[in-house]
Structure 1
Amino acid sequence: MPFCIRAGIYRAVCRICHSVLGLGFTELSGQGSVTQTQGKLEKLVGQTVTLKCTFSTGNQYYYLFWYRQQRSGAMDFLFRIFQNNTKKNVKRFSSQANDSSTVLNITALKLADTAVYLCALRLAQ
């Protein structure tokens, strides 16, 4: 299920969900899975949010992805992480990964951050 950040006039509300490749799958050919354990998060505009995605894979080579789906339906690519790397994209967005989880950090939340956030796992070949 996706990460969903909804915004009000003074605050952004984050509801956490997950998806693999944004397609609603929780397993990838029996070789990998993505799990979300966080519940609903609520943050004020200007605060920081950390969205966590845990995964398991039988393959030592993998890619992790973060996407954001706007209200209009447009999909924004945020990050591609190969194994245990750290990535920074836009000033307020960063992501880190280890052997079993990845996080997306968004600082200085804005109402414009209202979107559905997706974590994805792909095994490298």
Structure 2
Amino acid sequence: MLGKTKSVLGLLSLFTISSVYSAEHNINGIITRNPGFEKDKVHVVFIIDGESVVNKLYRLRKLDSSCTGDCTFEILYDTDKSFRFNSGGVEFEYDRQIYNIGYSSTGLVYNRCTRIEGCDNFLLRFETNFSSLDIL
């Protein structure tokens, strides 16, 4: 009798354990500034798995207002999410993980500028693929 109980309990636990699999994700986007934009505004396009999460103009806001060099800027979207960037890349949180993505070599274009602040014409392109564990 004890053997049958162990077998039944073993089978029950096998079926109650959640399935875990790896999901593939793609994140890409661009940050642009053109001479026609209002002062201190940039256009941000942020796409996760083919779905546009951000696609609008934002005012540049320094993370540290006293910064004078290669400053990090922060954009708040969806009321509680932040997206940070500087001349080296972007940082954002997705599914409780923080990701840092460098710009692609063909997507870092400054026209006669050495930093983001004060530059009226630039294009910063980023993209990455990553896997995350999903529990069913």
TM-score (norm 2): 0.33
Higher helix share: 2
Quick check: which has more Rg, 1 or 2? 2
Q: More relative contact order in 1 or in 2 (CA 8 Å, sep 6+)? A: 1
TM-score (norm 1): 0.35
